[in-house]
Structure 1
């Protein structure tokens, strides 16, 4: 499967590359990964990086590496995430330290939502956020999401479900 590339004003959403591993492993090994099941060992980070590419094969959509448009520096991960035990596909985002505080997650999430609605033809999508993750909660609200229940995942625990505005509402 060829993972498509999405370009925004400042970012490239692209397939993970071997050269991204160090930045990804640094993120997964840090406290920044606490809301996504970390911190993790380098071996676990390797498996998770491989899973980013693997979901594209199984589902036909997945998560991209967020890269700076000018330098190709990896800044985080975003995309359509749908583990087998999730209630439905979600727009997910995680930023590396180098991407924090620059509006990158917002720009990337808007591009992912546009991809879901315009390319895949979806009419709705969610984001699952730990209630203690204040930055992700603020981003969900900035994206126009509304609370839509909760669900509990075996490893991550209880998460709030945030419903993105529908395709029709954004038209």
Structure 2
């Protein structure tokens, strides 16, 4: 098992993914609506491979998607964090929240914590979010973070789709992070 950072917000704990998270990942990836923009519905064996890829990303890059847990219940909420697989246009902060937890503000809360991590701990100068053009929920999260549509698209390697590139600079985040926490 890898050792790594644990981020905490008022309501959430973000930690490295582990095999015990498989049921949560399977739940996310078996929900047609929640999985629509992150590769589509997958059977459990493929989800297990995806979980191993995310854990491997931590081993190779030293960062990656966190497993997000609700502190009050211990429920697995989703995966959120910095991500830069081979061929990505630049490092991004991405999020995928289980549908049972939509509308609670967990996406922006967890993403804000990982934006801090990306800028403060990883030293990134800017962050992007690759968002499918029809994914209004993710656009809303990006707006809450203060990210803006960069006016360009990029291919999502391995998925064969074009995504809108949203994002912001370190300087933008310095101003936006205080507004978000109010």
Q: TM-score, normalised by structure 1?
A: 0.94
1:156 to partner: Cα distance: 4.6
Q: Is the 8 A contact 2:6 2:15 kept in 1?
A: yes
Gaps of 5+ in 1: none
Instruction: Establish whether residue 61 from structure 1 lines up as the match of residue 53 from structure 2.
Output: no
- Taking the aligned partners of 1:92 and 1:120, their CA distance within structure 2 comes to 15
1:85 to partner: Cα distance: 1.8
1:79-136, CA deviations, whole angstroms, 9 ceiling, x for partnerless residues?
A: 0111112101100000012221100000001000000111112221110000111100
Instruction: Establish whether residue 160 from structure 1 lines up as the match of residue 164 from structure 2.
Output: yes
- Taking the aligned partners of 1:58 and 1:19, their CA distance within structure 2 comes to 21
Q: Is the 8 A contact 1:37 1:156 kept in 2?
A: no
- Taking the aligned partners of 2:116 and 2:49, their CA distance within structure 1 comes to 28
1:28 to partner: Cα distance: 0.7
Q: Which residue does the alignment assign to 1:15?
A: 16
Q: Is the 8 A contact 1:129 1:162 kept in 2?
A: yes
Distance 1:79 1:156, change over 3 A: farther
- Taking the aligned partners of 2:50 and 2:65, their CA distance within structure 1 comes to 11
The one of 26, 40, 59 aligned to 2:42 = 40
Between Structure 1 and Structure 2, how many residues are aligned? 170
Q: Is the 8 A contact 1:35 1:156 kept in 2?
A: no
Q: Is the 8 A contact 1:63 1:80 kept in 2?
A: yes
Q: Which residue does the alignment assign to 2:136?
A: 134
3-state SS in 1 of match to 2:37? helix
Q: Is the 8 A contact 2:18 2:55 kept in 1?
A: no
Q: Is the 8 A contact 2:90 2:128 kept in 1?
A: yes
- Taking the aligned partners of 1:77 and 1:156, their CA distance within structure 2 comes to 22
3-state SS in 2 of match to 1:150? strand
Q: Which residue does the alignment assign to 1:91?
A: 93
1:70 to partner: Cα distance: 2.3
Aligned-CA RMSD value = 1.3
3-state SS in 2 of match to 1:125? strand
3-state SS in 1 of match to 2:36? helix
